[in-house]
Structure 1
Amino acid sequence: MSFGDPNNPYGPPQGQQPGYGQPQGQQPGYGYPAAPPVSPYGAYPGGPAPYGAPMPMPGTVKAARVMLWIMGILQILVGIIAAFAGSMLVNEAGLDSTASATATGVIVIIGLIGVALGVWGVIIAAKCANGGNGIRISGIVYGSLVTAGGLANMAQGQGASVVALVLGILIIVFFSKADAAAWFKRPRF
């Protein structure tokens, strides 16, 4: 027996005759290959998300967001306490001197600035989920101001300023990373 014989059952398969069970055209199992499954993490690990797939928030942005919430809320509380304590200074002492009034005004203004900075931090934290690149830049500026305040307080010998200094630096670093930039510059539909 040779493989060239068309009647050989052990030979290579011959093409099917038209009209014997299979439609004309493509053979079953042939054609375009199936598309690979789409991963929510992109074409490769750490890669960009495929078109139309939601991009998960990077861990560094989540961490910076938590730090912003904590710093903002604490700044609001401390600012309110400072402004209230400054306003009570004149009322309790009953002093009418210009020096005490000026000191009271300075304490109240510092408290109100603290409240404003705290509200700014909370707004940045709230907008991290769907904000644009301006929110990232605003977070970097906020972290810079917190760092500068921590350095100024550290120069005066206040121990709690180390925490503000470290958190401010971490906010700057986390918002400056490439994955944070990709998160805030992602397309929104």
Structure 2
Amino acid sequence: MSFGSPNNPYGQPQDPQQPPQQPGYGYPQQGGQQQPYGYPQQAPQGVPPQQGYGYPQAPQAPAGYGYPQQPGYGMPPSYANWGQRFLGTLVDGLIFMIPYILVIIDVSAQTGILSVVGALGVIGLAIWQLIKEGRTGQTVGKKALGIRLVRESDGQPLGVGMAFVRRLAHFLDSLACYLGWLWPAWDAKRQTFADKVCSSIVIRSN
């Protein structure tokens, strides 16, 4: 009596013309049913499905560019309007009036002491405001109005040096009957002539 091939432990005769079936190939068993090879197999109950071979990969969104998203990366910045820019400049001007008042009082008294204090106060305020604007994009007036000065290319503060250059470039805004100061009222990016030269914009910070 023949017990079949030693490679066939179940004792069933094997057709010599057919190649032996290799383990791991063919149709995987699931719940007693065979599924074609490569078909996405169902995960066991209670186990979340995992992405792998045979599963479509979820598309990934491209990285954002430039400005912090407000609300959302890659969205265009919200430009400050002319009224906000004007009021911010007005607040800064009122701050500078304090040392000037000291000078006026001193001239009336003709003592000379308050004139020196007032002059030093103007210089100190100008430097302090310039540093704040260059590093944070905000003077006291801009912060009060919720706006800030940034680079058009990446939305970062200009830096102290470039903020100083922008202030010098404001002479362009005073040419042609101060037209440059009014330009943000209708410009698409709300820029003055100095902003266009320095590639800067003023945006809403809140």
TM-score (norm 1): 0.30
- Structure with the higher helix share, 1 or 2: 1
Higher RCO (CA < 8 A, seq sep 6+): 1
- Structure with the higher strand share, 1 or 2: 2
